[in-house]
Chains A and B, each alone.
Chain A
């Protein structure tokens, strides 16, 4: 069978000549999904852009990219663009952002039929309605994207791609920001597209997506292919050390430490019958929770379930509508603290890290040397102190955030999806530090996450927030909790 897409020995370098991709080769065949697996900076997105012929100006590419007979590296821009929507289409990252916020759902599908495929208007409308129906979006044609749920937005993007019906379909981190059930749904839908006879290439950092898609897997590291083969084989018995590390970084494979004796001492934080509505919708109906020193409690919930709101209520960052929050009396307010989801958003962008810690040390009378030993424990090199937040990796920055939080001797730490923006290997080093913090500092840690495996691997207790109520989730090793 001929390959719909062929990439041979692709090299990409930036303007200064730094190599970003070093000899990537792959081919995609109709019906067999191909997953390009790699971390941030592995060059996986560059592969996708090179296939599209949309590499940013300033990058130099060598090698060969053949898309349905067109040499994408030598074809003029107009020729490359003519293939878009006709030969190749892209399922974008975060479909919600890729849909026009001011255009109704049906028009966004119908314009592909009318303007790309040249159908007359009534037929374009009818076809678009049929695509929406196929994907369970019946009756949403007149809605705007902001009136759709995240899952519906993803299906709307898929409906647009089905309208284009190109032989090659590229998916760029299609599960970014999705919780486990929706991630699996997205992967299943991509596999459906492959089964319809399209060549599907998916770029992701999530091993679970590769597993759900099946087909072929290619593992990229620092611009080079380290392993390539059928998913069943590569994911079951990886031959390269990096592949093994990547697979072992999945939380479901972490070694669980023995559970400590049940925590004692007076509760650090107690919530009694908390209620909270946001935008007229009841988010938390009656939530009670007790946290004791030294324990790590995970709260699981899908996006929008109110789990971040719960933590913010406990910290007093939001006002409750009813119920009561009781803190351990006589403890300084800054010892109840929060680790934010998006590390760059939690730092002053133009302030070097040393300066930020300096301010902290003066405000709270912490000797600066204490940061030094903390950094050593968290694996942070002293040279990083003189960089700006944007100049270090997300994992390093999140460790600085943890350092900052721990330096105040917290009794309560609310960790809000602290590793969801990190690569798997980085997550595997940062996340256990939370447990370590609970143990060594005797702090109560509330971990909020949408990843049941992560919750299971880290927490002493796992609770599930569903429809505004908190319930014990128990342990279901190896499986999602059916959220």
Chain B
């Protein structure tokens, strides 16, 4: 267990690093907005016709755009680290609640994608790994390469055309009906299934060829006992590691797919915020993505350490 604690502490330090980095970039962005940032922000907020010096001064005071750089940066970072992310430059509403809402949508989408990807990819990968070079292996390889090669927006469009336009089974976009999550989730899931299946195939192949599996058979264990006691756990180690990373990557990969399907997740919010130069929102979304990445990596590491005693004891 000490090993797991050590891993989690290291990830916590990373999370702090991510927060400082994102905060600093956010600060720099804020001050590199063209023109007088106070005027610029006031214009975004109240409309160009309503801006006057008084409104700009009010914004300047509110956002602390005055004074020497270093204390301003430290004040800014202090607010970021305490998750006081400020107000949207566009709507004036606090960033945090809005962010949490987007985050929930993204997490839901990623979880759904993973839930679809596992039953799609793993059984095929295991079958392919049991007979490397066989028919299943070759078909699965071809499918995996095609799915990984097609960019998500093209895959998403294709799914939209087939399932929403032609068949009319699923809504093409939006988030009003529960079924709306299926198409974006499937778009993400196919890529994850392709990768997960390949990793599972290699893991199964390696374990199947390993001296310890042969020894387990020679010990006289039944095939079911061999697979249950010696096969599954060892084969799952690389699969869990890769799927953990993939799940984290889903958060970011969602940027394109969320925009395509108008899914109100973090990626969607990030794109809108960038177009609107809404720096607090951009910063908040980037922070949420970065911290989410660290958190999921930590979970994947902890899970891997529980599966593989060598990892928990730092010998790998």
Residues of A within 8 A of B (CB): 52, 54, 81, 84-86, 89-90, 92-94, 97-103, 111-112, 115-116, 144, 146-147, 157, 160, 164
A164: B residues at CB distance < 8 A = 219-220
Across the interface, B218 reaches (CB within 8 A) one of A85, A102, A146, namely A85
A86 to B211, CA, bound (A): 20
A103 to chain B, nearest CB (A): 7
Nearest chain-A residue to B308 (Cβ)?
A102
Across the interface, B221 reaches (CB within 8 A) one of A90, A98, A116, A146, namely A116
Q: Is the CB of B220 within 8 A of A97?
A: no
Across the interface, A84 reaches (CB within 8 A) one of B212, B220, B237, B308, namely B220
Q: Is the CB of B307 within 8 A of A98?
A: no
Q: Is the CB of B307 within 8 A of A112?
A: no
For the complex of A and B, list the 6 residue pairs with the smallest distance between their C-beta atoms, beginning with the closest.
A85-B220, A98-B215, A116-B220, A97-B211, A98-B211, A84-B220
A12 to B168, CA, bound (A): 63
A115 to B223, CA, bound (A): 11
Encoded as 1 (CB less than 8 Å from any A CB) or 0, chain B from 220 to 252 comes to 111001000110011001000000000000000
A98: B residues at CB distance < 8 A = 211-212, 214-215
B216 lies within 8 A of chain A by Cβ: yes
A115: B residues at CB distance < 8 A = 220-222, 225
Nearest chain-A residue to B218 (Cβ)?
A90
A52 to B217, CA, bound (A): 11
Q: Is the CB of B214 within 8 A of A111?
A: no
Nearest chain-B residue to A166 (Cβ)?
B220
A405 to B234, CA, bound (A): 41
Q: Is the CB of A89 within 8 A of B229?
A: no
Q: Is the CB of A93 within 8 A of B220?
A: no
Q: Counting chain A CB atoms within 10 Å of each CB, which of B218, B225, B308 scores highest?
A: B218
Q: Is the CB of B212 within 8 A of A97?
A: yes
A402 to chain B, nearest CB (A): 31
Known: A103-B230, A144-B309. A92 touches B215 (CB 8 A): yes
A164 to B216, CA, bound (A): 12
B315: A residues at CB distance < 8 A = 146
B79 lies within 8 A of chain A by Cβ: no
Beyond A84-B218, A146-B315, 7 extra complex contacts between A and B, CB < 8 Å: A81-B217, A84-B219, A84-B220, A90-B218, A92-B211, A103-B229, A144-B309
Q: Is the CB of B219 within 8 A of A100?
A: no
A93 to chain B, nearest CB (A): 7
A144 to chain B, nearest CB (A): 5
B72 lies within 8 A of chain A by Cβ: no
Q: Is the CB of B217 within 8 A of A84?
A: yes
Q: Is the CB of B215 within 8 A of A90?
A: yes
Q: Is the CB of B219 within 8 A of A144?
A: no
B63 to chain A, nearest CB (A): 51
A100: B residues at CB distance < 8 A = 212, 216, 229-230, 234
B215: A residues at CB distance < 8 A = 90, 92, 98-99, 157
